[in-house]
Structure 1
């Protein structure tokens, strides 16, 4: 059995219980949910072995980032090497990362460019079928037809190699080519990370190879967006032939699921989308009157009315956004719904009737888009801009009835680079999460920071006791870590600028930078606070001969900074400054000597503006004052703090210092932050002021140094 495989023998008693719970949940089915809060090193990913032993069908693993794919590939590789079982595993990575032509799509998304080239490719193949004068055309046997100029593509040579075209009853039909079927069979005999996978695809489209591999695999790894996007969900289930009733779902890093689903359930409307929608109407207005669109005079009248509505609404939407862009400073504000609706629908007797007429036009535009192209491949890849505008307005109207919908306007940049857009999003992820969990065989949610479990259960599932919940202790040796919390220092607004408080924060930061040998990270609540204490960190780093690196605003600069930071660990060490919840504080594995100490400066609460207040009010109405404020405001801050702190001590053999530099982390009571922290942290926290923190850190570091000798 798969359960014969225990990769973490020293943790066996705890892992036994965890694997038993996974096995029982998956075996029992009935749409059960299991939530597991297990710190780093608990062997969470080994739960896949128990699920494989019990699952009635395919297992889907939902991950947030591509980097998490390797963890599960390694786990399946261990199962292959340590048991007689060889479960197959595949993954789906976005086209922007996999497409060999991605850099050639200028001014359009990879998905739109891909759909366009696929259609042109099929047209070319049909033409070649006629030219060769046969009933069948195989591009792999026609190398002369593969000439395509980069930047001026008239077809995709990679997609062409994945298909064959044949004639049946006078019509062309497509099927997978021999080369792609052979490659997929070969891939199932091994386990390959994404970079190697791309190389082995050679002249075949990696995305097509991935999707075909996923259909026949025991385990398929997907992004959150594949499974929880309200628009893409149905397509991916059907496309990958995943039967909901027999599917077992793993959600990795489940503490991120709620925010990810909220982001997926956000519609954005920009001036560019309005421009594109207007072009669609102009392009298809003549076509909509042609005879191929069979309609009665009543239908034609309705369609003309719809066009009139669209041509009225689009300029008004653009004008509204432009006026707010001029008046607003950079940032975001709640949209005044009454003013917006009065401006947009002025002169319309019935808003619902007007939107219905406009929607008919949007549907017709979409139908004509598909009629000109390839229905099978365009569907799900392209959403016409006019349809997007009407869906946006529909959600805006939904917000009139459903308080979980939030409407806002955002302005970014200044001067000539200033731009604005409208947003409508649903702040409650539970309905979309339940749409999945209530229809699959079983769901297992895994995270190292899913504490408190009861709060995450309400946030993600909206029901007490909907899930079985288990929490594992930190199994790393407690003598290898030192957990400190500030006695008086805080970043609370009313205390933030007091001289005594600033001195305490400064001295805490200096203590961890100067007394912890090797690499240290200091994470702040915001970029402005990071900048405020940058001089302090620089002086402390210089005093002990360490380099200083700061989190960049541009994500593309992160790899280079991390490479230098990791390299510094082998010398005298370095100091990394970042923001809790930012690019450097989550999702990066600082293994080995990469990080020896972390300071979390401040409780990283979200900016308390009218948007946050509205979110708080929604959850207070739904769950009461205590649970509502915890879920809406405090829980995200706790999670950001724990994620930042968790960057240090990634293995049982590692040692490190964690400093929570804000007194709120030690405050207990029913609503205090301390009561919501994992038990192992509560038990080990040492409360100290800045002067004593230096002494405590120095003593523990000296003790570790003696043990090394």
Structure 2
């Protein structure tokens, strides 16, 4: 190990480091160069050096720079955090999509700790529903709503106890006669109670963090712990409180996308975690998901249940809106009464509208006719803007009365009262009249008594929300193994050509360890899908993968219906070679058991896994070692083309032109789904695997083809084959691998 100060070294971004993989670590004002020499391929070290150089240079330069990195699995993307630590002027935030991705960064920090005496601290924020010790007890309400209620009751109990013990200060952790809270019948939260002390000042009670929780935060910073282990070590103290307190003083904090990119909570999270914008560096992991995730975060829902709850809120607080709760002029009181009148008119109309569409619509989604909706809702109102303004005033007051102290610290879930959410929805409906990036729709799902309907309005363009972050912080680094083509993702995520610096790395694993094929004729295009000859081509390609690839294989289709259509054939093919068949469940709760059985089968005779591109099994699951030896991606997984998608396409065509507009709105998600599915095989340098793109569009240019949008290493390696010869090609490659192993 080499540990030397950087001061005076004369580092210049872009020079590289003589074939060594060097990352930099910063801790306080000390810098050290650390050799992380575990990248095994000499031929790719220049690419690795360049990536680390670019990360260091972008972060060091600051000026709101953005670096987009497209680097396949095994390229060492996560280790870019070390180069950023060396250059960052302040805290680093890492945004991830799932809790499982946290462990990847914890592993990287452990490597950094093992290579240097400097130990940058790292904390993560996990949603309350995943880490709350009593989350299972909140029946019929969200964890966040239940937590807010119990926190308020806990504070009242502590104030009462302060009076009982007869002093100016009360620390529950030192109270041998502390009150008890019965599981299932909680009157306060014992975990939250242990994080607070209450003291009297000028005759009023005040709260602060307890010495117990402060000591625990210091103790936990001495090591790196997985979320499960962290939760156990918090013992009787609220783990969420420990996380949030620890995050304020950490060098690196890992967050969910929603923490930073939810429009309501961007300001809250920056203030709460004390993130200084100009010195903050942001890492976006799995950045190919960012655009869609931000769109989902910027979606408003309106359900009948929300209307029911809003009506209860209004009735509950109607009397409190007068002079009994707030000093106000007669004009203020009149305005609030007008707001209540507006709300009590709109809520029944909203319920009636949803019920009407629920009874008439087929299952699915449709665009919401804005003129008809607004005409029905605001009939009799002379000024819609004035009516919504009066209603919003009431909603704000309800929010102030409803939310417990500190509830702004909530980062996910049902945070705002339902009335506030409904008013936000209606304001976004009005925004759609001026901004065509807002889309309004109605959805109906289920049958019979389970049939339900809801309204939605969402912004289909994530770029403005993403730019609210990237344009106001030190620097942003976006990482993904499927960020191709980079130029299209730059437009989609950032809304501007040339906004980011973009780099793409080749596949780091030996080419001889993989076989990439693409169908010459087979396709799932609608006009060819049911042709007998085309179906035979698809079946024979799939049969070749199932029968000729030893061990476990997966076949991913464009939809559940297509998977069901080919399931009998796949089952027969699997049975013929002694393999078991497993299919992707609709219910995610069934997923762990199916995967466990699939992995066990791979250690015996092998198995076949059927799934959907873009589904639970095709993204986010790490099939390591012999868990998966072959993948067939059947069809180009384009989204369902309906009036909803047509409107999205039209928006992007207007913004970027015909070619780029259709690519971003419709084709890009399909390419990513296909690449993610194909990427489930070969997750390590020692692994070998077969990848088949079973649709000719993956090899075609021009209209409908996506070949030119694939990563260059895939373009260079694709073998075009028909069903008759794919079996022979696979058999020969598998035999070659067997000879090498023996």
The aligned residue for residue 504 of structure 1 is 537
CA contact (8 A) 1:5 1:83 kept: no
Alignment of 1:51-450 (within 5 A): 51-370=84-403, 373-374=404-405, 382-450=415-483
Cα deviation per residue 1:424-475 (whole Å; 9 max; x = unaligned)?
0000000000000001100000000000000000000000010000000011
Partners in 1 of 2:284 and 2:730 — Cα distance?
A: 37
Choose from 638, 648, 669 the match for 1:615: 648
Q: Please report how far the alpha carbon of residue 672 of structure 1 lies from its aligned counterpart in structure 2 after TM superposition.
A: 2.8
Q: Please report how far the alpha carbon of residue 4 of structure 1 lies from its aligned counterpart in structure 2 after TM superposition.
A: 2.1
Partners in 1 of 2:312 and 2:734 — Cα distance?
A: 66
Partners in 2 of 1:287 and 1:188 — Cα distance?
A: 46
Unaligned runs of 5+ in 1: none
Alignment of 1:434-583 (within 5 A): 434-583=467-616
Is 1:24 matched up with 2:24? no
The aligned residue for residue 16 of structure 2 is none
- Greater Cα offset, 565-574 or 17-26: 565-574
The aligned residue for residue 604 of structure 1 is 637
Q: Determine helix, strand or coil for the equivalent of 2:311.
A: helix
Q: Please report how far the alpha carbon of residue 290 of structure 1 lies from its aligned counterpart in structure 2 after TM superposition.
A: 3.2
In terms of fraction of residues, the more helix-rich structure is 1
Partners in 1 of 2:481 and 2:409 — Cα distance?
A: 39
Is 1:589 matched up with 2:622? yes
Partners in 2 of 1:356 and 1:186 — Cα distance?
A: 50
Q: Determine helix, strand or coil for the equivalent of 2:433.
A: helix
The aligned residue for residue 5 of structure 1 is 35
Partners in 2 of 1:119 and 1:378 — Cα distance?
A: 14
Unaligned runs of 5+ in 2: 1-23, 26-32
Q: How many residues align?
A: 707
Choose from 636, 646, 652 the match for 2:669: 636
Partners in 2 of 1:181 and 1:612 — Cα distance?
A: 51
Q: Please report how far the alpha carbon of residue 379 of structure 1 lies from its aligned counterpart in structure 2 after TM superposition.
A: 7.4
Q: Determine helix, strand or coil for the equivalent of 1:145.
A: coil
The aligned residue for residue 646 of structure 1 is 679
Q: Please report how far the alpha carbon of residue 366 of structure 1 lies from its aligned counterpart in structure 2 after TM superposition.
A: 1.6
Q: Please report how far the alpha carbon of residue 13 of structure 1 lies from its aligned counterpart in structure 2 after TM superposition.
A: 2.0
Q: Please report how far the alpha carbon of residue 382 of structure 1 lies from its aligned counterpart in structure 2 after TM superposition.
A: 2.9
Q: Please report how far the alpha carbon of residue 649 of structure 1 lies from its aligned counterpart in structure 2 after TM superposition.
A: 0.3
Q: Please report how far the alpha carbon of residue 12 of structure 1 lies from its aligned counterpart in structure 2 after TM superposition.
A: 2.7
- Greater Cα offset, 343-352 or 31-40: 343-352
Choose from 697, 702, 710 the match for 1:664: 697
CA contact (8 A) 1:115 1:378 kept: no
Partners in 2 of 1:476 and 1:354 — Cα distance?
A: 62
Partners in 2 of 1:143 and 1:570 — Cα distance?
A: 55
Judged with a 3 Å threshold, the aligned counterparts in structure 2 of structure 1 residues 647 and 378 are, in CA distance, closer, same or farther, namely closer
Cα deviation per residue 1:579-614 (whole Å; 9 max; x = unaligned)?
000000001100100000000000000000000000
The aligned residue for residue 698 of structure 1 is 731
Partners in 2 of 1:367 and 1:518 — Cα distance?
A: 60
Judged with a 3 Å threshold, the aligned counterparts in structure 2 of structure 1 residues 379 and 188 are, in CA distance, closer, same or farther, namely closer
Q: Please report how far the alpha carbon of residue 292 of structure 1 lies from its aligned counterpart in structure 2 after TM superposition.
A: 3.2
CA contact (8 A) 1:524 1:600 kept: yes
Q: Determine helix, strand or coil for the equivalent of 1:533.
A: helix
Judged with a 3 Å threshold, the aligned counterparts in structure 2 of structure 1 residues 467 and 491 are, in CA distance, closer, same or farther, namely same
Judged with a 3 Å threshold, the aligned counterparts in structure 2 of structure 1 residues 523 and 29 are, in CA distance, closer, same or farther, namely same
Judged with a 3 Å threshold, the aligned counterparts in structure 2 of structure 1 residues 650 and 378 are, in CA distance, closer, same or farther, namely closer
Partners in 2 of 1:379 and 1:558 — Cα distance?
A: 29
CA contact (8 A) 2:272 2:409 kept: no
Partners in 1 of 2:327 and 2:614 — Cα distance?
A: 55
The aligned residue for residue 689 of structure 1 is 722
Q: Please report how far the alpha carbon of residue 376 of structure 1 lies from its aligned counterpart in structure 2 after TM superposition.
A: 6.0
CA contact (8 A) 1:430 1:460 kept: yes
Q: Please report how far the alpha carbon of residue 477 of structure 1 lies from its aligned counterpart in structure 2 after TM superposition.
A: 0.5
The aligned residue for residue 15 of structure 1 is 48
Tell me the TM-score normalized by structure 2: 0.94
Aligned-CA RMSD value = 1.1
Tell me the TM-score normalized by structure 1: 0.98
Cα deviation per residue 1:160-202 (whole Å; 9 max; x = unaligned)?
0011111111111111111111111111110000000000000
